[in-house]
């Protein structure tokens, strides 16, 4: 049995295998072709934290492959409010389904869940930890939109401290041989563990506080939301809220071939006028969650 908990669990070859398989899923994801690959299989999506894209794209992926979905979005209507532990919830749900997609506010929750599960666990975000399936869809987007996934100059912008998407993505991008610039407000810098990984790989570019400093040499501008819900003190959030706004003026300072990505949801960090620019790829990126999650499910649940 194989779980998907961290990008550290994937070799470059395995990443490429998932992405290649996802290419073959695009027509099914769009509804232009049909598939019964996972008929009779059940996916449990248990989300202890809010989600739109991750949960719905996993559900669409399973449905489009002919499987079924159970689960909950928010714990209000579950036995969690009665005091049930994560361990017991996982023991039980893994008896109802062939794989479990888990999102949880605590870092390490997905790894813990593997100890109690009889089926594969897919980490759909564990607090400020990791978000490996988001990284796979980000890489799929990068490969499709730029034609490559190595030798790129990638600037990660925003809340690098609490943002789980950028923790996973930075590591995967370094594994693949890309140079990473880190752009964050004071106090929201990338954790040392990730910075150390980039340094060891010789792929740590520039660390700075403003995107203007790196935009001219950026192939991919990856923007993230300030993770309001992770701040211990709301006053600290207010100090950095709205600190960045990617607008057409900033985009014009980058290379014409630069693309802009964002895991979404966006709040104010990308101006709506950017949506119409050819550089904007974040909605395509959100769609790509479907074929990539289809690929993962077919590998984990489909038995091949």
The set of catalytic residues is 53-54, 82, 103, 131
* 165 lines the binding site for ligand NCD (CB under 6 A): yes
Rounded to 5 degrees, what angle do the CA atoms 149, 288, 283 make?
100
Q: Find out whether 283 and 23 touch, Cβ atoms under 8 Å.
A: no
From the CB of 107, what's the least distance to ligand NCD, in Å? Answer: 12
Q: Are 247 and 268 in contact (CB under 8 A)?
A: no
Report the residue from 67, 71, 127, 263 that binds ligand NCD according to the rule CB under 6 A: 263
If we measure between CA atoms, which residue out of 53, 68, 51, 52 comes closest to residue 103?
51
164 binds ligand NCD (CB under 6 A): yes
Least distance to ligand NCD, CB of residue 99, Å: 18
Q: Binding to ligand NCD (CB under 6 A): which residues in 112-131?
A: 125, 131
Q: How many residues bind ligand NCD (CB under 6 A)?
A: 10
**Closer CB to ligand NCD, 98 or 159, in the complex:** 159
Nearer to ligand NCD among residue 37 and residue 172 (C-beta): 172
Residues 209-238 contacting ligand NCD, CB under 6 A: 225
Nearest to 222 by CA among 175, 287, 266: 266
Give me the sign of the Cα torsion angle 54, 58, 59, 60: positive
Token pair belonging to 69: 């979905």
Distances in Å between the alpha carbon of 293 and those of 52, 55, 96, 104, 106?
15, 10, 20, 19, 23
The two tokens of residue 115 are: 């100890």
Work out whether 53 is an interface residue with ligand NCD (CB under 6 A).
yes
Among 203, 264, 295, 301, binds ligand NCD (CB under 6 A): 264
**Shortest distance in whole angstroms from residue 40 CB to ligand NCD:** 28
Distance CA 264, CA 78 (A): 27
> What is the rounded distance in angstroms from the CA atom of residue 18 to the CA atom of residue 283?
21
For CA atoms 290, 295, 296, 302, the dihedral sign is: positive
Q: To the nearest whole angstrom, how small is the minimum distance from the Cβ of residue 82 to ligand NCD?
A: 26
134 binds ligand NCD (CB under 6 A): yes
Looking at residues 56 to 115 of the shown chain, list those that interact with ligand NCD (rule: CB under 6 A): none
Comparison of 52 and 85: residue with beta carbon closer to ligand NCD: 52
Residue 35 CA to residue 151 CA, distance in Å, equals 36
Nearer to ligand NCD by C-beta: 179 or 288? 288
Beta carbon of residue 235, minimum distance to ligand NCD (angstroms, whole number):
21
Give yes or no for residue 281 binding ligand NCD (CB under 6 A).
no
Q: How far is the CB of 265 from ligand NCD (least distance, A)?
A: 6
- Note the residues at the interface with ligand NCD (CB under 6 A): 53-54, 125, 131, 134, 164-165, 225, 263-264
């Amino acid at each position: 049995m194989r779980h998907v908990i961290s990008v550290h669990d994937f070799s470059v070859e395995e990443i490429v295998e998932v992405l290649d398989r996802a290419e073959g899923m695009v027509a099914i994801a769009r509804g232009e072709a049909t598939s019964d690959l996972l008929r009779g299989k059940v996916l449990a999506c248990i989300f202890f934290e809010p989600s739109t894209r991750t949960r719905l794209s996993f559900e669409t992926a399973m449905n489009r492959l002919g499987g079924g979905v159970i689960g909950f979005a928010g714990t209000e209507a579950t036995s969690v409010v009665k005091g049930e532990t994560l361990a017991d919830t996982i023991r039980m749900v893994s008896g109802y389904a062939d794989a479990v997609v888990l999102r949880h506010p605590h870092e390490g929750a997905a790894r813990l869940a593997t100890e109690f599960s009889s089926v594969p666990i897919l980490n759909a975000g564990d607090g400020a930890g990791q978000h490996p399936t988001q990284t796979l869809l980000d890489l799929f987007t990068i490969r499709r939109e730029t034609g490559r996934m190595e030798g790129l100059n990638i600037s990660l912008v925003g809340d690098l401290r609490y943002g789980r998407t950028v923790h996973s993505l930075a590591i995967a991008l370094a594994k693949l041989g890309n140079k990473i610039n880190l752009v964050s407000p004071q106090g929201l810098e990338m954790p040392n563990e990730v910075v150390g990984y980039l340094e060891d790989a010789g792929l740590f570019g520039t660390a700075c506080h403003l995107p203007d400093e790196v935009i001219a040499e950026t192939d991919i501008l990856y923007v993230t939301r300030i993770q309001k819900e992770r701040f211990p003190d709301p006053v600290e959030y207010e100090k950095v809220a709205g600190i960045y706004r990617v607008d057409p003026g900033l985009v014009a300072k980058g290379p014409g071939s630069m693309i802009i990505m964002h895991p979404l949801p966006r709040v104010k960090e990308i101006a709506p006028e950017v949506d119409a620019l050819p550089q904007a790829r974040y909605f395509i990126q959100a769609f790509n969650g479907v074929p990539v999650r289809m690929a993962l499910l077919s590998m984990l649940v489909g038995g091949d």
